Amino acid sequence: MNIASLVVRAKPEDFAVVHDFLKQVPGVEVQGESLETGRIVVTVEDGEGWSVTDSILKVNLGPRVQGVTLAYEYTDEGLENLEA
């Protein structure tokens, strides 16, 4: 499992366009937003046929997206190789 949390920056007047785009990106779910600061918080989860990295890159290149900050990332890949 791979998950990430992103802060997507956009102009408040562009939020509708950005939201419509985010709905189309695999594994992306909107968690919250602030019109005052121009930020939308999303989570990204990997799934069958896509990776978190692919979805993050797609969000970053989305229409009216001014920038993306990776706030949190988790992976459980390789945990089986660690000793307790």
- What pLDDT does residue 83 have? 61
- Does the domain at 2-77 match CATH 3.40.640.10? Answer given as no
DSSP states of 7-75 = EEE--GGGHHHHHHHHTTSTTEEEEEEETTTTEEEEEEE-BTTB-HHHHHHHHHTSTT--EEEEEEEEE
- Distances in Å between the Cα of 10 and the Cα atoms of 22, 37, 61, 68 are 12, 9, 12, 9
Domain ranges of the chain: 2-77
- What pLDDT does residue 1 have? 86
- What pLDDT does residue 27 have? 96
> Taking the complete model, does pTM exceed 0.85, yes or no?
yes
Each residue's pLDDT, cut to its tens digit, for the chain (84 residues) gives: 899 999 999 999 999 999 999 999 999 999 999 999 999 999 999 999 999 999 999 999 999 999 999 999 998 876 566 565
- What pLDDT does residue 78 have? 66
